[in-house]
Structure 1
C-alpha cells in the first residue's frame, strides 16, 4: 500500500451511510478500527516506507563528471580535461543489496499485518466486554424491577396481613442494593464503551449503538488444524522468516567484500595548441583490510544465527500458545454447557417456585430473595464465561493470523 493510499484509507471522511453509530455488531467496530486506528496507520506507513527503500537499493553509484584545468599560468589555461568516472559494483552485489531491502520490506509488511491482527483481537475482546456490560445492566434492571414490585406489594400488605415491619425493611434494603447495582452497571457500560472507542481510534465519549449480542463462533476446531494454520499464516512468524532471509543475504553480501569494485573513466583533453586527445582509466581498491572484512563476516554469521534462533523460538512458542488458548477455550465451553444445562434451569425453576409460594403465603421473603439472587449470580457467571470464550477465541484468531 502506497503512502497516498494509506493516507486516503485512514483519513477519509465518514460517509453518510456511516453516520449511524457503530457498535451493533463486532464486524462494525472491527471495520472502523481498521480505518481509524492511528497505530495501525503508522504500521502501514512504516511498511510502505520500507517498500519504497527497495527502489533505492541495489543500484550502481552515480557517475562523476570531472572538469580539470592544466598548465594554468599568466598565458591562460594550457589544457582542459573533461571526463567521466563510474564505479561498477560487480559480482552480484547489487542484486544481493536489493534482496536484503526486499526481505526487510517483507518483514515490515508482516509486522504491519501482525499489528492489524492484534488490533482486531483486542477490539473483539473489548466488544465482548461491552456487550456483556450491557447484558449485565439489563439483568440488574430486571432484578431491580422485581424487587421494587415486591416492595410495593409488601407495603400494600403491611398491616392488612401477616406481613411484619421487618419484611418491609428487608425488602427496602434489597431494593436499595439493587438500585446501587444498577448504577454500578451503568458505569461499567460507559467505561467499556470508552475503552472500545479508544481501541477503534475515536473519542472516548463518542456514541455507540446498543450491542446485538456476542458474534457466533465456530465450535468445530481441532488443535492440530489451528496449529497448522498458525505456522502458515501467523504474520509474526512470517516476519521472522523474512528476517532470516535478510540475514542470509547480508551474509552472502559480506562474503563478496573481498572482491573489489571497479572504477572506469575517460577524459577528453583539449589543448590550446596541438591536437586534442583522450585518456582512459581503470582502477580498483585493493582489499587489504582483511581483519575488518573478517569481522564483518563474523558479525553477519552471528546475526544470521540469531535470526534463525528467533524464528525457531517463535515457532515453538507459537505452538505452545495455540495449545494453551485452545485447551482453555475447550474448558470454558464445557463450563458454559454445564451452566446452561445444569445450573440455569434449576435456578429459574427455584425462582418460579418461590414466587408462587410467596404469592400463596407458603414461602417467606428471605427464601424468595435468596432464589432471585442465586439466579442472578448464575446468569452473571454464565455471562462472564461467554466473555472469556470470546476473548480466548480472539486469541486463537490472533495466533492463527486471521479469522478461523
Structure 2
C-alpha cells in the first residue's frame, strides 16, 4: 500500500514529460502543428508585419502641414540690414479633408489586417490538410507493413511445407512474387511518409527533415453542418470579403476627397518687422490656394469614381464566388461522408470476413493460395480507399473552414 503514492508520482512525472515532449515536438495532434505554424511561418509573419506597417501609417494621415518659419533681411546695403522680418506661416486644409484622409488610412489599415487574417486562415487550412495526409501516409505504411508481415509468414510456411506436403513449387513462387510486391509497396509507402513529413514541416516553417511526433489520428469534425449556415458564416467572417468591404470604404473616402479638391486651402501667416532705426511692427498674411486646374481635378474625380465602382464590383464578385465555393465544398463533403459510410458498412466488413474465410480455408486445404492473396489485396485496397476518403474529408472540411473564416 505504501508504494501507491510512489506509483502515482511516477505516472504523473511520465505524463508531464510526455506533454513536454509534445510541446517541443509537434505532430501528435493537429492543434500542436497549427500552433507551431502560427509561431514559425515566415509567410504569416510577413503578412502580420505588413498589417502593422499599414496601421502605423494611420498616425501620419489626416494631419495639417508643418508650419513654415521664415527669416528675411530687407534693405541690405553697405550700411547693413535695413529691416529684419521674422515670421511663421501655416496652411490649413479645411472642409473635412483631414478627416477623410484619416478615414482612408484607417480603411487601408483594416484592409491589410483582414488580408493578414486571410493569410492565417489559409495557412491553417493548408496545415490541416497536410496533417491529414501526414497521418494517412503513416497509417498506409502500417497497413502495407501488416500485409508484408502476413505474406512473409505465409511464404515461410509454404517453404516449410514444400516437399513435405501437397505444396508445389508454383505456390512457393507465387508467394515469393507476392512478398516482393509487398516489400516494394512498403518501400513506396516509406517514401510517401517522408514526403508528407517534409511537406508538413515546410508549411510549419521548420527544416524538412525535422522530426514529428506520431499522429494520434484524424482531427474530429462536426457532422451536422447546414449549407445556409456555412454560407452565412462566410459572408460575415471571411477575411477576404471583409478586406473588400474595407477597400470599398477606402475608395468611397478617396472619391469624397477628390470632390473637396475644388475647395481651396487657406494659408495664415504673421511677421515681426524690426527696422534698423525705428519701432518694431507687425505684418499679417492671409493666402488662398485658388483651384484653377479644373481639368486635372476632373480627371482625379473620374479616376476615383472608377476605382470606387471597381471596388464595389470586386466585393460583389467575391461574395457571389464565395457562396458558390462554399456550396461546392459542402456538397463534396456530404458526398465523401456518404461514400465513407458505404465503405465502412458494405465493403470493409465483407472484405475482412473474406480474408478470415480464405485463411481458414487455406489452412484446411480447401482454398487456393491465389484466392487468399486476392482477398488480402482486396482488404488492403478497401482500407486504403477508406483512408483516402478520410483524407479528402479532412481536406474539404478545412476548405469550408477557410471559406468561413475560421473553425466551424
How high is the TM-score relative to the length of structure 1? 0.96
**Alignment partners' CA distance in 1, 2:361 and 2:311:** 72
Alignment of 1:135-154 (within 5 A): 135-154=139-158
Aligned to 1:278: 282
Kept in 1: contact 2:95–2:260 (CA 8 A): yes
Secondary structure of 1:330's partner? helix
String of CA shifts for 1:317-352, please: whole Å, max 9, x gaps. 000000000000000000000000000000000000
**Alignment partners' CA distance in 2, 1:198 and 1:156:** 49
Secondary structure of 2:69's partner? strand
Kept in 1: contact 2:23–2:32 (CA 8 A): no
Secondary structure of 1:82's partner? strand
Kept in 1: contact 2:22–2:213 (CA 8 A): no
**25 and 243 in structure 1: CA distance in 2 versus 1, 3 angstrom threshold:** same
Instruction: State the aligned residue count.
Output: 390
Aligned to 1:61: 65
Alignment of 1:319-334 (within 5 A): 319-334=323-338
Secondary structure of 1:46's partner? helix
Aligned to 1:163: 167
Matched, 1:175 2:183: no
Alignment of 1:2-401 (within 5 A): 20-401=24-405
**166 and 222 in structure 1: CA distance in 2 versus 1, 3 angstrom threshold:** same
**403 and 372 in structure 1: CA distance in 2 versus 1, 3 angstrom threshold:** same
**Alignment partners' CA distance in 2, 1:22 and 1:311:** 38
Structure 1 residues without counterparts, runs of 5 or longer: 1-15
Q: Compute the displacement of 1:20 (Å).
A: 3.2
Secondary structure of 1:258's partner? coil
Q: Compute the displacement of 1:19 (Å).
A: 6.0
String of CA shifts for 1:11-69, please: whole Å, max 9, x gaps. xxxxx776631100100000100000001000000000000000000000000000000
Q: Compute the displacement of 1:285 (Å).
A: 1.1
Q: Compute the displacement of 1:272 (Å).
A: 1.1
The CA RMSD over aligned residues, in Å, is 1.0
Runs of 4+ residues over 2 Å off in structure 1: 16-20
How high is the TM-score relative to the length of structure 2? 0.95
Aligned to 1:5: none
String of CA shifts for 1:62-87, please: whole Å, max 9, x gaps. 00000000011111111000000000
**17 and 100 in structure 1: CA distance in 2 versus 1, 3 angstrom threshold:** farther
**Alignment partners' CA distance in 1, 2:144 and 2:71:** 88
Secondary structure of 1:339's partner? helix
